[in-house]
Amino acid sequence: MKKIMTIGLVAALASSGALADEGVVMVDQSSAGAASTTEVSVDAALVSAYVWRGQVYNNDVVVQSQVTVAHQGFSLNIWGNFDLGENNTGTEKSFSEIDFSLAYSLPVNMNQVAIDVGLINYNFPNNGDAESVPDTTELFVKATFLSWADQFIPSITGFGDVGGADGTYFLFDVAVPFEVSDYLAVEAGASAGWGNTSYNDKYWAEGKDDGWNDYNVYATASYELLENVTLAANLTYTWLDGRVRSHAEDADKYEASRKFWYGVSVAYDF
C-alpha cells in the first residue's frame, strides 16, 4: 500500500505543480537504504489549469508529464508542461516549461523527521525570450514530521532561488492520509506559501514585502489498477492573500487570483 500511496501523491503533487517544486519526487527514506535496485516510473496527467504557488499561468487544460529514476535514496526527475490552450504569455500547443530536479532522501530518522534535499532547474523553451522569462534554479530542503503519520503528516519545504528571483519561498503543508483498501488510498490536506521580499518582488510587484502568498486545500485519490499501473485524481482550491491579489488579476501577469482546479493521471512503475 505504501507503494501506491507514494505514486498517487507524486501524481497529484506533480499535477498541482507547475514550475515543478510541488512535483519533485521524494524517495521514501524508510525504503531508500534497503532498496538496491533502480526504479523507473513515468506519469502523464491531464489538468484543468496550470497553477503554481497561487500563480495561474494557464486557465485552460494542460498536459503535464514526467519521468523519474530512483536509486538508493536519490531520484532524478524530468517534468514538462504542455499548454493545449493559450497561457499568460501567449504560448499554446507547445511545451512552455521543462524542469529537471535531483533529490536525495537522507538515510537518517531524527526523532521521526524525514529530511529531503535537492535542486530544481526551471526551463521555459517557448515562453518568451530568455530576458523576459529567464531560466532559473532553486535549492530546497524538506522536513516531513512522521510522529503522527497515521493521523496527519505535517511538512515544511524551503526553496532558495539562486537564479532569476534570488529569493526564498516556504511551503507549509498538512496532509491527512487514509487507506481505504489495499488498492485505494485517499488524502486530504491544506497548505500555505510564504515568500521573502526578494521573492515577492520578482513574482508579484516591486515593493512587496515578505509575507503570505497563497493558500490551498486539496483532496487526492489513487487506485492501483494493475500491479505497475496506478490511476490518480486530485481536486484543489487555491486563493491568494489580499496583499498580492490585485497583481494576479493583472492580465499581463496571471490569469486569476483564485482557482478551483483538478486533474487525472496515470503512472506506470517499471
What is the 3 state secondary structure string of the chain? CHHHHHHHHHHHHHHHHCCCHHHCCCCCHHHHCCCCCCEEEEEEEEECCEEECCEEEECCCEEEEEEEEEECCEEEEEEEEEECCCCCCCCCCEEEEEEEEEEEECCCCCCCEEEEEEEEEEECCCCCCCCCCCCEEEEEEEEEECCCCCCCEEEEEEEEECCCCCCEEEEEEEEEEEECCCCEEEEEEEEEEEECHHHHHHHCCCCCCCEEEEEEEEEEEEEEEECCEEEEEEEEEEEECHHHHHHHCCCCCCCCCEEEEEEEEEEEEC
Q: Does residue 111 have a pLDDT over 80?
A: no
- pLDDT band at residue 32 using 50, 70 and 90 as cut-offs: very low
Average pLDDT score over residue span 136-154 = 93
Q: Which three cell numbers stand for residue 167?
A: 529569493
pLDDT for 62 equals: 97
Average pLDDT score over residue span 36-52 = 93
**Under 8 Å between Cβ of 234 and 263:** yes
In sign, the C-alpha dihedral spanning 238, 241, 242, 248 is negative
Amino acid, single-letter form, for residue 55: Q
**Under 8 Å between Cβ of 60 and 46:** no
pLDDT for 163 equals: 77
- pLDDT band at residue 247 using 50, 70 and 90 as cut-offs: confident
Which residues, 6 or more positions from 64, have their beta carbon under 8 angstroms from its beta carbon?
14, 15, 17, 18, 23, 44, 45, 47, 50, 79, 80, 81, 82, 263
CATH numbers and ranges of domains, the chain: 2-259 (2.40.160.40)
pLDDT for 129 equals: 59
Nearest partner of 83 among 66, 67, 64, 56, judged by Cα: 64
pLDDT for 144 equals: 94
Q: Does residue 16 have a pLDDT over 50?
A: no
Model confidence pLDDT, tens digit, residues 112-131? 899 999 999 999 988 765 55
- pLDDT band at residue 28 using 50, 70 and 90 as cut-offs: very low
pLDDT for 130 equals: 52
CA dist 181 to 9, 22, 178, Å? 16, 26, 9
Q: Does residue 27 have a pLDDT over 60?
A: no
- pLDDT band at residue 132 using 50, 70 and 90 as cut-offs: low
- pLDDT band at residue 268 using 50, 70 and 90 as cut-offs: very high
In the chain, the percentage of residues whose pLDDT exceeds 70 is 82
Average pLDDT score over residue span 64-92 = 94
Model confidence pLDDT, tens digit, residues 167-215? 999 999 999 999 999 999 999 999 999 999 999 888 887 777 899 999 9
Q: Does residue 101 have a pLDDT over 60?
A: yes
Calpha distance 118→264 (Å, rounded) = 27
> pTM of the prediction?
0.87
Q: Does residue 1 have a pLDDT over 70?
A: no
Calpha distance 221→234 (Å, rounded) = 6
pLDDT for 36 equals: 66
What mean pLDDT, rounded, does the chain reach?
Answer: 85
Nearest partner of 256 among 80, 45, 60, judged by Cα: 60
Average pLDDT score over residue span 134-149 = 92
Q: 149 forms bridges with which residues in the sheet?
A: none
Q: Does residue 26 have a pLDDT over 90?
A: no
Q: Does residue 242 have a pLDDT over 80?
A: yes
